[in-house]
Amino acid sequence: MIYLVGSGPGDPGLFTVKGVRCMEQADAVVYDRLAPEALLAYAKPGAEMIYVGKKPGDDQAMKQDEINRVLVELGRENKTAVRLKGGDPYIFGRGGEEALELIEAGIPFEVVPGVTSGVAAPAYAGIPVTHRNISTSVAFITGHEDPTKGRSDVDWKGIAHGADTLVLYMGVGRLREISAELMDAGRDPETPVAVVRWGTLPEQRTVTGTLVDIAERVEEAKLKPPAITVVGGVVGLRESGLGWYEKRPLFGRRVVVTRARVQAGELSAELEGLGAEVREFPTIEVRPPEDFGPLDGAILSLDSFDWLVFTSVNGVDAFLERLRHHGLDLRAIPRDAKVAAIGPATAGTLERVGLRVDVVPEEFRAEALIEAVAGQSLAGKQVLIPRAKVAREVLPDKLREAGAEVVVPPAYETVPTAEGKDQLARDLEAGLIDCVTFTASSTVDNFVGAFGAEEAARLLAGSRVVCIGPITAGTARGHGLRIDAEARKYTIPGLIEAVVDLFAADPTRKAR
């Protein structure tokens, strides 16, 4: 089976549920240049990835007949394949040609429609393609026809008044000629026009004008393909407050997340929801400890502990996983044992699995946790702290000073990683990164370790640096890094708030 799947206009969130299901069962994925690469993650492990992108003016691009041949060969090999196409397969996507080729070869296929950029890009730019009392009809037109034909198949005279709204695909290169054709055919030269580049993506840019001046405005803005052009009165609605996407507080900002990849999801998703383009540069990788012996020993004697203290979500996850490994669950924890968590994220993880948390400090750092726990009587108490193999010793030391017997088994360890280091260095060097975030001292240490202290400081000089709290910021300053903002609350939401506030105070934007 060959699935002809529309990948949508660019925002991965606009991909269809059925498209995901097709990707999950595909043996091979044949994908276009404009298909979001993030969607490839839906493919099952081991699926063959075949890039067939075509770029205007690229002599090395795979020709359509070659793409057809690839699909037929996959079908004849009895494979399930997804042909992942930008937008919708049947709207200027040549999906019909591919389907006919499959029919001729006797290979079964299905079509999974996608959200087309001709509707989505205007919507993200604040332009509904139809609107009562302004536009009751819309026409989709290709602005890029086969140059070998020697003539145009578009009836510009009929189109000029054939629909209230005209949506042009791939027409930026011929915008001056198309505008002239429409005006010659009788369309009012003052008709509003908008050109939306990279619609639905953080790089989205919109230029507006009229038929008489839009080509000049687009040239002045140096707007290049891919872009959608909208002609008609609905363009004026953009100025009525409908341009929601480009008004988001972090729109157009590129923000680097340095957390471990398994942890980055929440922070990345929140930043993207506020309009940022997120670059994940995991500086640490979370791994099981080399030796589970100390943790296993503590778990098998859980009934001897009076306190369980958790200093991170990773520690909670590792502890619970090891409980399950031994065939145990939360019932193994003594009923009268008390539980402390360093902050709301850690506490929330515990409470979601049904473990009540007794102590959460107002400030989410080890020093505040010490004060909160020290308010209890600790003399002779047994305290278990499952945590990272390498961590600050201030917490166990202070608890021991208060008279507690403290066991600190490694529940996990973090190791440096520098995946994507060279690309990030180039982007920082070119001034393409607006902000780099650090969520722990280890992320700072490993970032500096990847580049060297002097080079890290130099690369970060042109970007903003935001830290989750004073401990992380202190580590950064110790390496000679400049800090632009610290979170007032030492949490991921607090970090996000700090990033938003930083750019709200200085709203200037870099040209992209």
Tens of pLDDT, residue by residue over 400-417, are 888 889 999 999 988 888
Quick check: 165 and 273 in contact, CB under 8 A?
Answer: no
Q: Measured on CA atoms in the order 46, 50, 53, 59, is the torsion positive or negative?
A: positive
Strands 254-257 and 435-438, by their bridges, are: parallel
What would the mean pLDDT of 472-494 be, rounded to a whole number? 93
Give the pLDDT confidence of 102-121 residue by residue, as tens digits. Answer: 999 999 999 999 999 999 99
Closest by CA to 19, choosing from 35, 33, 3, is 3
Query: CA-to-CA distance for 331 and 489, rounded, in angstroms?
Result: 33
Tokens of 495: 């970090």
pLDDT tens track for 226-249: 999 999 999 999 999 898 998 999
Rg of the Cα atoms in the chain: 28
512: pLDDT confidence band, cut at 50, 70 and 90? Answer: very low
Query: pTM here?
Result: 0.73
293-414: CATH, from 3.40.50.10090, 3.40.50.720, 3.40.1010.10, 3.40.1440.10: 3.40.50.10090
Cβ–Cβ under 8 Å, residues 363 and 337 = no
**CATH top-level class of 254-283+417-505:** alpha beta
Question: Residue 363's pLDDT is what?
Answer: 67
Task: Give the span between the Cα atoms of 148 and 153, in whole angstroms.
Answer: 12
258 band by pLDDT with thresholds 50, 70 and 90: very high
Query: Band of the pLDDT at 371, cuts 50, 70, 90?
Result: confident
Name the residues annotated as catalytic: 32, 54, 170
Q: Of 60-64, 83-87, 318-322, 324-328, where does mean pLDDT reach its minimum?
A: 60-64
Q: Which residue has the higher pLDDT, 409 or 491?
A: 409
| Residue indicated by tokens 């499959």 | 102
Between 397 and 54, residue with greater pLDDT = 397
- Domains 254-283+417-505 and 293-414 are alike in CATH topology: yes
Domain residue ranges in the chain: 2-115, 119-243, 254-283+417-505, 293-414
| CATH node for 2-115 | 3.40.1010.10
Q: What pLDDT was estimated at residue 117?
A: 96
Nearest C-alpha neighbor of 231 from the set 298, 152, 156, 295: 156
DSSP string, 339-390: EEESSHHHHHHHHHTT----B--SS-SHHHHHHHHHTS--TT-EEE--EESS
For the segment 410-438, the average pLDDT, to the nearest whole number, is: 91
SS3 assignment, position 142: strand
- Could you tell me the two tokens for 79? 């494979």
Higher pLDDT, 414 or 365: 414
What CATH code is assigned to 119-243? Answer: 3.30.950.10
DSSP 8-state assignment for residue 308: E
Which pLDDT does position 377 carry in this prediction? 76
Identify whether the C-beta of residue 445 lies closer than 8 Å to the C-beta of residue 483: no
- CA-to-CA separations, 229 to 128, 196, 452, in angstroms, rounded: 13, 6, 47
Q: What is the pLDDT of residues 437-468, one digit of tens each?
A: 999 888 999 999 999 999 999 999 999 999 99
